[in-house]
Amino acid sequence: MPDGLLPLGVVLSSFVPGLAIFFLAEARHRLRSALNLAGALTKLALIGVMLWGVLHDRDYVFSHTVLPGLDLVLRADALAMLFVSLSAALWFFTTLYAIGYLEGSPQRSRFFGFFSLCVTATMGIAMAGNLFSFFLFYELLTLATYPLVVHRGTEAALRAGRIYLAYTLGGGALLLVGTAWLYALAGQVDFVAGGSLAGLPEEAAGRLRLVFLLLVAGLGVKAALVPLHGWLPVAMVAPAPVSALLHAVAVVKAGAFGIVRVVYEVYGVEFAQSLGLLVPLAAAAALTIVWGSLRALYQDDLKRRLAYSTVSQVAYIALGAALFGPVGTIGGVVHLVHQGVMKITLFFCAGNYAETLGVHRVDELDGAGRRMPATSVAFTVAAFGMIGLPPLAGFVSKWYLGLGALEAQMPWVLAVLAASSLLNAAYFLPVVHRLWFRPRAGPWPQEHIRARGGWETSRLLLVPPLATAAATLGFGLFAAGSASPLDWAKLVAAREYLQWVP
Amino acid sequence: MATTELADPIPWLVLLPLAWATAAFVLGPGRGGRLAVAGLAVQAALALALAAEVLEAGPRRYAVGGWAAPLGIELLADGLAAFMLATTAAVALPVAVYARGYFRAVSRSDAHPKGATWFWPLTGYLVAALDVLFLAADLFNLYVGLELLGLAAVGLTALTGERAAVAAALRYLLASLLGSGAYLMGVALVYGAYGTVSLATLAPLIEPLPAVALAAGLMAAGLALKTALFPLHFWLPPAHGGAASPVSALLSALVVKASFYLLLRLWFGIYAPLTTAAAAQLLGALGAAAVVWGSVQALRQERLKMLVAYSTVAQLGYLFLVFPLATGTGPAAAAAAWGGALLQVLAHGLAKAAMFAAAGAMVLAAGRDAVAGLGGVGARLPLSLFAFALAGVTLMGLPPSGGFTAKWLLLRAALASGQWWWAAVLVVGGLLAAAYVFRVLRQAFLPVEAASTGGVPRSLEFAALALALGGVLLGLFGERPLALLGVG
Amino acid sequence: MSAGLFYALTGGLLFALGLAGLILRAHVLRKLLAFNILGSGAFLVLVGLGGRDGTPDPVTQAMVLTGIVVAVAATALGLALARRLLELTGDMALPGEAPHGDD
If you compute the radius of gyration of chain B from its CA atoms, what whole number of angstroms results?
Answer: 21
pLDDT of A325: 86
Which contacts of A292-295 are long-range, i.e. CB under 8 A and separated by 24 or more positions?
Answer: A292/A224, A292/A226, A292/A229, A293/A419, A293/A420, A293/A423, A293/A424, A293/A427, A294/A423
**Residue A147 near residue A117, CB atoms below 8 Å:** no
| Mean pLDDT, residues C35-63 taken together | 85
Of the residues B154, B160, B170, B196, the best mutation for testing chain C's interface (the one with the most C CB atoms within 10 Å of its CB) is: B170
Between CA B310 and CA B303 the distance in angstroms is: 11
Instruction: Give the domain C3-89 fold.
Output: Helix Hairpins (1.10.287)
Residue B7 has pLDDT above 90, yes or no: no
Confidence of residue A496 (pLDDT cuts 50, 70, 90): confident
Q: Which chains touch A (3 or more CB pairs under 8 A)?
A: B
Chains C and B touch (3+ CB pairs under 8 A): yes
Averaged pLDDT score across all residues of chain A: 89
CA-nearest residue to C96 within chain B is B167
Taking alpha carbons only, the member of B148, B83, B94 closest to residue B121 is: B148
Confidence of residue A316 (pLDDT cuts 50, 70, 90): very high
Locate the chain A residue with the closest alpha carbon to B443.
A153
Please report which confidence band the pLDDT of residue A479 belongs to, taking 50, 70 and 90 as the band edges: confident
- pLDDT digit string, tens, across residues C81-91: 999 999 988 88
pLDDT of residue B97: 95
Residue B367 zone, left/alpha/beta (φ > 0; ψ -120 to 50; rest): left
Give the confidence band of A2 by pLDDT, cuts at 50, 70, 90: low
What confidence tier does B377 reach under pLDDT thresholds 50, 70, 90? confident
Report the pLDDT averaged over residues A350-375: 89
Give the HSE-up count for residue A105: Cα atoms under 13 Å, Cβ half-sphere.
16
What pLDDT sits at residue A343? 92
3-state DSSP call for residue C52? strand
Q: Is a pLDDT exceeding 50 seen at residue A500?
A: no
Q: For residues A419-439, give the mean pLDDT.
A: 92
A499 phi and psi angles, rounded to 5 deg = -105, 110
Bridge partners (DSSP) listed for residue A455: A452
User: What's the pLDDT at A375?
Assistant: 93
pLDDT in tens, B388-405: 999 999 999 998 899 999
Pick B423's closest partner by Cβ from A64, A165, A177.
A177
Assess contact for A269 and A330: CB atoms under 8 A: no
Q: Provide, as residue numbers in chain C, all residues whose Cβ is less than 8 Å from the Cβ of B195.
A: 50, 52, 57
Query: At CB < 8 Å, which residues of chain B contact C?
Result: 70, 140, 143-144, 147-148, 150-151, 154-155, 158, 161-163, 166-167, 169-171, 173-174, 177-178, 181, 184-185, 187-189, 191-193, 195, 197
Answer whether C7 touches B (CB < 8 Å). Answer: no
Q: Looking at chain A, which residue has its C-alpha nearest residue B441?
A: A147
Question: CA A346 to CA A358: how far, in whole Å?
Answer: 16
C-beta atoms of B445 and A65 within 8 A: no
C22 to B178: CB separation less than 8 angstroms, yes or no: yes
pLDDT at C103 over 60: no
Neighbours of chain B (3+ CB pairs under 8 A): A, C
The C-alpha of A21 sits at a distance from chain B's nearest C-alpha, in angstroms, of 13
Q: Do C74 and B173 touch (CB under 8 A)?
A: yes
Through-space distance between the first and last CA atoms of chain B, rounded to whole angstroms: 25
Cα–Cα dist B104/B97, whole Å:
11
Instruction: Tell me the backbone φ, ψ of residue A65, rounded to 5 degrees.
Output: -85, 120
Angle between helices A412-437 and A373-387 (to 10 degrees): 160
Give chain C positions within 8 Å (CB) of B169.
81
| A66 falls within a domain | yes
Please tell me which residue of chain B has the smallest CA distance to C50: B192
Residue A419 at interface with chain B, using a CB cutoff of 8 Å: no
Verify whether the Cβ–Cβ distance B184 to C41 is below 8 Å: no
pLDDT of B382: 83
Is residue B113 pLDDT above 80, yes or no? no
Show residues of chain B in contact with C70, CB under 8 Å. 144, 147-148, 151
Residues of A in contact with B446 (CB under 8 A): 153, 158
3-state secondary structure labels for all residues of A21-33: HHCCCCCCHHHHH
B386 to A22: CB separation less than 8 angstroms, yes or no: yes
Please state at what angle helix A485-496 crosses helix A393-407, rounded to 10 degrees: 20
H/E element, B190: helix B163-194
Chains A and B touch (3+ CB pairs under 8 A): yes
- Smallest CA–CA distance, residue C38 to chain B, in Å, is 7
pLDDT tens readout for residues B37-86: 999 999 999 999 999 999 999 998 888 877 776 667 889 999 999 999 99
Q: Average pLDDT of A93-114?
A: 87
Which of A70, A143, A150 shows the shortest C-beta gap to B408? A70
The pLDDT score that the predictor gives to residue B378 is 73
Q: What integer pLDDT is reported at residue A306 of this predicted model?
A: 92
**Residue A66 to chain B, least CA–CA distance (Å):** 5
Selected residues 153-182 of chain A with any CB under 8 Å from a CB in chain B: 153, 157-158, 161-162, 165, 169-170, 172-173, 176-177, 180-181
Q: Do B181 and C82 touch (CB under 8 A)?
A: no
Residues with Cβ < 8 Å from A459, sequence gap 6 or more?
A100
Interchain proximity B442–A150, CB inside 8 Å? yes
* Contact check, Cβ <8 Å, B411/A170: no
pLDDT tens figures, A249-307: 889 999 999 999 999 999 988 899 899 999 999 999 999 999 999 999 999 999 999 99
Bridge partners of residue A74, in order along the sequence: A62, A128
How sure is the predictor about B3, in pLDDT bands with cuts at 50, 70 and 90?
very low
Task: Please judge whether B479 and A181 are an interchain contact, meaning their C-beta atoms are less than 8 angstroms apart.
Answer: no
Mean pLDDT, residues B226-239 taken together: 93
**C-alpha dihedral (C78, C79, C80, C86), degrees to nearest 10:** 110
Closest CA of chain C from B185, distance in Å: 5
Where do the domains of chain B lie?
Answer: 283-488
CB atoms B479 and A67 under 8 Å = yes
pLDDT of residue C12: 93
Q: Give B-chain residues touching A136 at CB under 8 angstroms.
A: 399-400
Within a domain: A501: no
pLDDT, tens digit (0-9, with 9 covering 90-100), for B130-160: 999 999 999 999 999 999 999 999 999 999 8
State residue B69's pLDDT score.
64
CA distance B144 to chain C (A): 8
- What does the pLDDT read at residue B387? 94
Residues 6+ apart with CB under 8 A from B467: B91, B94, B95, B350, B351, B353, B354, B357, B387, B391
Nearest CB among B150, B151, B191 relative to C50 is that of: B191
B6 touches A at CB < 8 Å: no
Q: CB–CB of A397/A327 below 8 Å?
A: no
Beta-carbon neighbour count of residue B302 at 10 Å? 10
Question: What total number of domains does chain A contain?
Answer: 1
B191 contacts C50 by C-beta, under 8 angstroms: yes
Q: Which of B412, B430, B447 lies at the smallest CB-CB distance from A180? A: B412
Residue of A23, A66, A73, A182 to mutate, interface with B, max B Cβ within 10 Å: A66
What are the tens digits of pLDDT across the range B405-452?
999 999 999 999 989 999 999 999 999 999 999 999 988 888 766 555
Within 13 Å of residue B178, how many CA atoms lie on the same side as its CB? 25
Q: How many CB pairs under 8 A join B and C?
A: 100
pLDDT-derived band of residue A433, with 50, 70 and 90 as boundaries? very high
User: What interface predicted TM-score (ipTM) does this complex get?
Assistant: 0.93
C39/B181 Cβ within 8 A? yes
For B269, counting Cβ atoms within 10 Å of its Cβ (0-12 exposed, 13-18 middle, 19+ buried), the class is middle
With contacts defined as CB-CB under 8 Å, which chain C residues touch B125?
none
**Contact between B91 and B350 (Cβ < 8 Å):** yes
For an interface test with B, give the residue of C17, C27, C57, C70 to mutate (most B CBs within 10 A): C70
